[in-house]
């Protein structure tokens, strides 16, 4: 399989199954595009000798394993037997904001507001250690709702995790995802000392942020959050972090939001499309997705312009390190939800990922049912259904050129929008493909 | 070659020394929704 595309005036061809990339001239681009679409080559407005010259070069590349490389043997996973290495710990099903697009029902997760007792967090970590098998690197994301509302549990959980690391020879990367409202000096110090990564939610321009990220009394939260986020990032230095925004149908000019975040001094930026059903307010859907796709070109221009000016920023989805990217197995098996990754609700219920929390059709078990050593039974059937859902088994994904870059997309979004974890969301796919083309272009073409 | 220039060698690694499972779960990175995987790093090859 091949994919021909244009990146800022340069014609590129991706050999999907090997990951090789070629820069081609316009006639070659047209020939390869015709091949990709199954169209007749000699109908193109080029001489027969030129087309023959190009097809000869293609044949040479094929012989070298650089063009239309055959697909590898499918990778599979018995989801029920897989170690669990990653956990989203919902320490608070409550939030101090009421964001209009919140997937978690402004923090309630379909089940009422609740903070996680430390005993439950402790049982969750015990289960993680027990289920992690031989995996050395483990991950725990302190999530919510708003995790800073359960600060005491955050601190105790990290301390307990450090004990477990020593006892079981594991390394736990703690991360935290916060709206930043409750940050203060003590929390900033702790986060910068203990967290491998921190994600702070800011949507960009003040008016965009304040329109949807509001307090319970309806006031915008931008002025509360931004100075605290700036302080945290300033004091964090080179430590991993992201300022993560959400764009909706209301700000399809989201390049301006990224620009606003960069102007605030943030250099690690991720702005994501909102995930809502097509008919919900603020949704990205078929009627506006082309605007969003075009906007990514503007964003690429801004990123390159800022780099040339000596004030660069990194946009999460435009950054691919092709030579050090994950292996085929990782790319094939997806996000790991339900297999190597689970989420735990404040009441101890375990779900395949944070987006399934509260949906008891996907309940895997409860950490409080474990014995004192973390032994417990999870729902094998659900785990197997996630394990068998991958880019080789999903019909649309198996034929898609972007499969090794998105890994099949988000199972939760697929379920939310299409009623099946195996049926990817078309709008998300379109956006992902555009971002991937730009990322590949940025990684391979000199500015 | 006159028309086609290779600018990235094959980079989808499989077989020996792969599938160790030690890299970050993709959903645990910055996005939490979009599931991009290729922008992560292999813990074995990345410096």
Taking the Cβ of residue A177 and every Cβ of chain B, the question of whether any pair is shorter than 8 Å is answered with yes
Res. B47: pLDDT tops 60: no
Residues A191 and A176: beta-carbon distance below 8 Å: yes
CB contact under 8 A, B30 and A316: yes
| Residue pairs between chains A and B whose CB atoms are closer than 8 Å | 212
Of B3, B21, B41, Cβ closest to residue A27: B3
Chain B residues touching residue A323 (CB < 8 angstroms): 11, 45
Residues A250 and A208: beta-carbon distance below 8 Å: yes
Query: Residue length, chain B?
Result: 47
Chain B residues touching residue A145 (CB < 8 angstroms): none
A82: nearest CA in chain B?
B21
Chain B residues touching residue A435 (CB < 8 angstroms): 36
B6: nearest CA in chain A?
A22
Residue range A10-69, pLDDT digits in tens: 999 999 999 999 999 999 999 999 998 888 999 999 999 999 999 999 999 999 999 999
Residues A86 and A138: beta-carbon distance below 8 Å: yes
- The span from the CA of A35 to the CA of A437, in Å, is 19
Residue range A179-212, pLDDT digits in tens: 999 999 999 999 999 999 999 999 999 999 999 9
Radius of gyration of chain B (CA): 15
Taking the Cβ of residue A404 and every Cβ of chain B, the question of whether any pair is shorter than 8 Å is answered with yes
According to the model, what pLDDT value does residue B32 have? 64
The pair of structure tokens assigned to A445 is 């073409």
The pair of structure tokens assigned to A400 is 């898609």
Residues A434 and A293: beta-carbon distance below 8 Å: yes
- The span from the CA of B7 to the CA of A69, in Å, is 16
Q: Would you give the DSSP letter of residue A16?
A: T
- The span from the CA of A439 to the CA of A304, in Å, is 12
According to the model, what pLDDT value does residue B30 have? 54
CB contact under 8 A, A331 and B38: yes
Residues A444 and A304: beta-carbon distance below 8 Å: no
- The span from the CA of B33 to the CA of A91, in Å, is 19
Of B8, B22, B26, Cβ closest to residue A444: B8
Q: What is the largest CA-CA distance in chain B?
A: 44
Residue range A281-295, pLDDT digits in tens: 999 999 999 999 999
Give the residue among A231, A439, A188 at the shortest CA–CA distance from A320. A439
Q: How close A180 gets to chain B, by Cα (Å)?
A: 15
According to the model, what pLDDT value does residue A105 have? 75
Antiparallel, parallel or unpaired: β A10-15 and A20-24: antiparallel
CB contact under 8 A, A353 and B27: yes
Q: How close A148 gets to chain B, by Cα (Å)?
A: 18
Chain A residues touching residue B30 (CB < 8 angstroms): 197, 199, 242, 244, 268, 270, 316
Of A57, A321, A436, Cβ closest to residue B3: A57
Q: Name the stretches of chain A with pLDDT < 50.
A: none
CA dihedral B27, A214, A268, A147 (to 10 degrees): -50
Chain A residues touching residue B16 (CB < 8 angstroms): none
CB contact under 8 A, A21 and B31: no
What is the ipTM, given to two decimal places? 0.91
Chain B residues touching residue A442 (CB < 8 angstroms): none
Give the residue among A238, A405, B8 at the shortest CA–CA distance from A397. A405
CB contact under 8 A, B25 and A65: no
């Amino acid at each position: 399989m091949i994919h021909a595309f244009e990146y800022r005036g340069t014609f590129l061809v991706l050999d999907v199954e090997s990951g090789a990339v070629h820069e081609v001239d316009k006639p070659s681009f047209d020939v390869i595009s015709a091949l990709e679409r199954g169209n007749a080559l000699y109908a193109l407005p080029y001489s027969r000798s030129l087309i023959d010259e190009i097809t000869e070069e293609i044949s040479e590349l094929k012989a070298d394993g650089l063009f239309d490389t055959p697909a590898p043997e499918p990778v599979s996973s018995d989801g029920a037997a897989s170690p669990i290495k990653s956990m989203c710990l919902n320490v608070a099903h409550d939030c101090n904001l009421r964001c209009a697009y919140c997937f978690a029902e402004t923090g309630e997760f379909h089940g009422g507001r609740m903070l996680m007792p430390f005993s439950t967090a402790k049982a969750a970590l015990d289960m993680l250690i027990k289920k992690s098998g031989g995996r050395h690197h483990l991950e725990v994301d302190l999530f919510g709702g708003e995790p800073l509302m359960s600060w005491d549990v955050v601190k105790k959980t990290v301390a307990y995790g450090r004990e477990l690391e020593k006892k079981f020879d594991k390394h736990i990367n703690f991360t935290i995802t916060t709206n930043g409202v409750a940050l203060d000096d003590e929390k900033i110090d702790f986060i910068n000392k203990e967290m491998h990564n921190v994600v702070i939610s800011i949507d960009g321009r003040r008016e965009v942020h304040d329109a949807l990220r509001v307090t319970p009394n309806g006031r915008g939260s931008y002025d509360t959050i931004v100075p605290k986020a700036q302080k945290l990032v300033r004091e964090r230095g080179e430590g991993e972090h992201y300022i993560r925004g959400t764009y909706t149908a209301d700000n399809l000019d989201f390049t301006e939001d990224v620009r606003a975040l960069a102007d605030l001094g943030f250099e690690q930026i991720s702005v994501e499309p909102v995930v809502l059903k097509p008919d919900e307010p603020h949704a990205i859907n078929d009627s506006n997705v082309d605007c969003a796709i075009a906007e990514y070109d503007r964003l690429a221009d801004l990123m390159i312009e800022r780099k040339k000016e000596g004030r660069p920023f990194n946009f999460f989805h435009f950054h691919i390190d092709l030579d050090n990217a994950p292996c085929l197995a990782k790319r094939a098996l997806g996000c790991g939800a339900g297999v190597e990754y689970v989420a735990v609700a404040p009441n101890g219920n375990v779900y395949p990922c944070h987006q399934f929390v509260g949906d008891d059709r996907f309940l895997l078990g409860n950490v409080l049912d474990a014995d004192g050593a973390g032994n417990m039974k999870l729902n094998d059937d659900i785990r197997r259904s996630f394990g068998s859902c991958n880019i080789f088994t999903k019909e649309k994904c198996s034929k898609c050129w972007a499969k090794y870059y998105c890994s099949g997309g988000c199972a939760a979004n697929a379920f939310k929008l299409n009623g099946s974890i195996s049926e990817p969301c078309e709008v998300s796919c379109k956006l992902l493909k555009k971002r991937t083309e730009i990322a590949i272009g940025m990684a391979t073409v000199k500015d | 070659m006159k028309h086609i220039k290779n600018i990235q060698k094959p980079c989808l690694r499989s077989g020996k020394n792969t599938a160790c499972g030690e890299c970050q779960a993709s959903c645990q990175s910055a996005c939490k929704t979009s599931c991009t995987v290729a922008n992560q790093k292999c813990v074995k090859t990345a410096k």
